[in-house]
Amino acid sequence: MPPAFAMRPSPMFRCHAPCQALRHTLCALLLAWASVPAGAASEIRLLDDADHTVQLAEPAERIVSLAPHLTENLFAIGAGAQVVGAVSFSDYPQAAQKVPRVGGYSRIDLERVLALAPDLVVAWRSGNDAEQLARLRQLGIPVYTSESRSFEAIAETLLHLGALSGQDQHAATVVAKLREGVAELRRRYRDATPVRVFYQVWEEPLMTVSDAHLIAQAIALCGGQNIFAHLDTLIPRIDRESVLAADPEVIVAGGMGEDRRDWLEAWKQWPELRAVREGQLVFIPPSLIQRHTPRVLEGTRMLCDALATARAKQSASALDAAQRP
């Protein structure tokens, strides 16, 4: 018996002209695919937040991060082992502290960056020096620039970093968890009674956030109202008189460190403030609310809990007042 591959097909399965044409087309496509150079199938091409097209022949293996939050994001999606350089204050997770430093985010050491021979640099649009980023591009180093000012923008940055580093699946898992957490908070506090909030970014000069900032979006997600939402700049400077006049129900601050509440203590000089009078001075570690990473969800949950506590106190006070003769 002749081998199976030598058997003649039954007449009902014989290809006529249309079938033959289709077979020739498929063969041509297969031949074209086979002729693509090795590695071309994994080419990556995307548009970053500075409207630059970033193109890699293959996922980056040597990445330099020029912002602490981007370093954290790379570790979050499983690309930590590919980070060969980072700026100062790239301190999370602990493994990031061992990565060689290339200066600070506002001024990097170009020679150190070049010495690390990166195949990708990830940058912060509003934090890094634009001229230095342009110089890196002139030298032929791919630069991905990020500017995440919303929860969804953080998700998109994580997905982009996943594509650029070959950690697509890990990034997708992290993003799904982030989006699910944000959606759950939105459902929970969608109809909550508004609470007026002052968020302090810095002490001297006194600084806060406008509604264009991610922190303000976190406040809104928790059912809060940012008392300085109307200001034009992203992080406006204000005076204490403005805070006293607005009389917020809750004052939230980070501080100079992860466990320093100095800024909140200073507000106790004004006991007439409602937030001080009712004990609504809330500390949230800055890395959990001021860094645009997946951990911002943890900081937002802390914020939501604080506003829920303030809301419950308001309800109890109102009930108590209504029951008085």
Q: What structural domains does the chain harbor?
A: 43-176 (3.40.50.1980), 191-320 (3.40.50.1980)
Asked if residues 300 and 178 have their Cβ atoms less than 8 Å apart, the reply is no
What value does the mean pLDDT take over residues 98-115?
Answer: 95
Residue 261's pLDDT is: 78
Which of the residue ranges 199-213, 273-287, 307-321 would you say has the lowest mean pLDDT?
A: 307-321
Q: Per the structure block, which two tokens stand in for 115? A: 């010495």
Choose among 142, 146, 170, 148: nearest CA to 75: 170
Asked if residues 130 and 108 have their Cβ atoms less than 8 Å apart, the reply is no
Residue 313's pLDDT is: 85
Choose among 271, 270, 295, 273: nearest CA to 284: 295
Asked if residues 101 and 88 have their Cβ atoms less than 8 Å apart, the reply is yes
Q: Where are the beta strands (DSSP E) in the chain?
A: 44-47, 53-56, 63-65, 83-86, 103-104, 107-108, 120-124, 143-146, 195-200, 224-226, 250-253, 281-283
Residue 321's pLDDT is: 54
> Which residues share a beta bridge with 79?
none
* pLDDT tens column, 67-105: 999 999 999 999 999 999 999 999 999 999 999 999 998
Share of the chain above pLDDT 70, in %: 82
What value does the mean pLDDT take over residues 121-128?
Answer: 95
Mean pLDDT over all residues of the chain?
Answer: 86
Choose among 231, 232, 274: nearest CA to 251: 274
DSSP state of 293: S
pLDDT reading at 271 higher than 80: yes
Count the Cβ atoms, other than its own, within 10 Å of residue 287: 21
User: Judging by beta carbons within 10 Å of its beta carbon (0-12, 13-18, 19+), is residue 309 exposed, middle or buried?
Assistant: middle
* pLDDT tens column, 200-231: 999 999 999 999 999 999 999 999 999 999 99
For every residue of 253-274, DSSP letters joined together read E--SSTT--HHHHHGGG-TTSH
Share of the chain above pLDDT 90, in %: 78
Which of the residue ranges 38-47, 237-246, 305-314 would you say has the lowest mean pLDDT?
A: 38-47
Q: For residue 136, report the phi and psi dihedrals to the nearest 5 degrees.
A: -60, -40
CA–CA gap between residue 175 and residue 168 (Å, rounded): 10
Cα dist. 208→22, 141, 226, 243, 252 in Å? 65, 36, 10, 10, 10
Choose among 89, 90, 307: nearest CA to 199: 307
Would you call 45 helix, strand, or coil by DSSP?
strand
Residue 254's pLDDT is: 82
pLDDT reading at 152 higher than 70: yes
Residue 314's pLDDT is: 76
Which are the contacts of 86, defined by CB distance < 8 A and separation ≥ 6? 64, 65, 66, 68, 71, 96, 99, 100, 101, 102
pLDDT reading at 158 higher than 50: yes
* pLDDT tens column, 8-64: 333 333 344 434 433 443 343 333 333 334 444 579 999 999 999 999 999 999 999
Asked if residues 239 and 213 have their Cβ atoms less than 8 Å apart, the reply is no
pTM recorded for the entire structure: 0.83
Residue 98's pLDDT is: 96
What value does the mean pLDDT take over residues 180-194?
Answer: 97
